[in-house]
Chains A and B, each alone.
Chain A
Amino acid sequence: SYVLTQPPSVSVAPGQTARITCGGNNIGSRSVHWYQQKPGQAPVLVVYDNTARPSGISERVSGSNSGSTATLSISRVEAGDEADYSCQVWDSNDDRPVVFGGGTRLTVL
């Protein structure tokens, strides 16, 4: 089955840009989706289909995907961005179609 690899943690100072990676074999050929999860809360979709943002998600959040790495970027980071971020793809060749990365804790210094 397909495997997604994320760094366990990323730290960034307020006002800087945070970049969270999601690695997978030829992931650039797939659609990658990203979820934000704050402590004690349910996940929230923040990017879908590599680059699209749902209604209500800040323009500071963006996504990219190429080669073996997809990236979620958050510009002008604020304390309120501190959360866990998980990437997800759909593996249509598998009868276990939903694959999540292990998640990355974003810490705002």
Chain B
Amino acid sequence: QVRLVESGGGVVQPGRSLRLSCAASGFAFTSYPMHWVRQAPGKGLEWVALMSNDGNYKYYADTVKGRFTISRDSSQNTLFLQMNGLRVEDTAVYYCARQAATTGYYYNYMDVWGKGTTVTVSS
């Protein structure tokens, strides 16, 4: 069955780093673009980053550009988010999500989501 499982969240001080992982299973990982989306406490969904299925393209929200790096390891079927220079406002549940796709065509929405991992940035 199609599944995404995030890990790596925790409590960290401002300015420190954290690396999130998202293990994918049940589908051809290399065929799908993948996203990170976050949700701060009591707030709505905020898109964070996107990586193309082949890893050649990466896009970031302005709020994280220059601090966060998205990557993927096809041998491990895993998506990563390296978060450096963390700020209090980065506190959120971080979800990885699969962009819907069929052979040769990418849709503009996310059809599979993980349960999320919580990141708390606090001194």
Specify which chain A residues have a CB less than 8 angstroms from the CB of B61 in the assembled complex.
96
Identify whether the interface residues of B are mostly helix, strand, loop, or mixed: strand
Query: What 0/1 pattern do residues 43 to 68 of A give for CB contact below 8 A with B?
Result: 11100110000100000000000000
Specify which chain A residues have a CB less than 8 angstroms from the CB of B37 in the assembled complex.
43, 98, 100
Give B51 Cβ to nearest chain A Cβ, in Å: 12
Specify which chain B residues have a CB less than 8 angstroms from the CB of A49 in the assembled complex.
107, 109
Residue contact A42 to B114, C-beta cutoff 8 Å: yes
Residue contact A31 to B108, C-beta cutoff 8 Å: yes
Give A92 Cβ to nearest chain B Cβ, in Å: 8
From A9-17, A71-79, A83-91, give the one contacting chain B: A83-91
Question: CB within 8 Å of A: which of B84-123?
Answer: 95, 97, 100, 107-111, 113-116
Q: A100 and B114 in contact (CB under 8 A), knowing A48-B107, A90-B108?
A: no
Interface residues on A, range: 20 to 34
Beta-carbon nearest neighbor of A45 in chain B = B111
Contact of B45 among A41, A90, A95, A103 (CB under 8 A): A103
Q: A98 and B47 in contact (CB under 8 A), knowing A33-B108, A48-B107?
A: yes
Beta-carbon nearest neighbor of B44 in chain A = A103
Number of interface residues of B (CB under 8 A): 24
Beta-carbon nearest neighbor of A48 in chain B = B109
Contact of A42 among B47, B100, B107, B113 (CB under 8 A): B113
Question: CB within 8 Å of A: which of B28-50?
Answer: 35, 37, 43-47, 50
Residue contact B116 to A42, C-beta cutoff 8 Å: yes
Give B20 Cβ to nearest chain A Cβ, in Å: 15
Q: A43-B97, A54-B111, A88-B110 are in contact. List 15 more A-B contacts (CB 8 A).
A: A31-B109, A42-B95, A42-B113, A45-B110, A45-B111, A86-B44, A89-B108, A95-B59, A96-B47, A98-B47, A98-B50, A100-B44, A102-B44, A103-B43, A103-B44
**Could you jot down 5 A-B contacts, CB within 8 Å?**
A42-B116, A49-B107, A86-B45, A90-B109, A96-B62
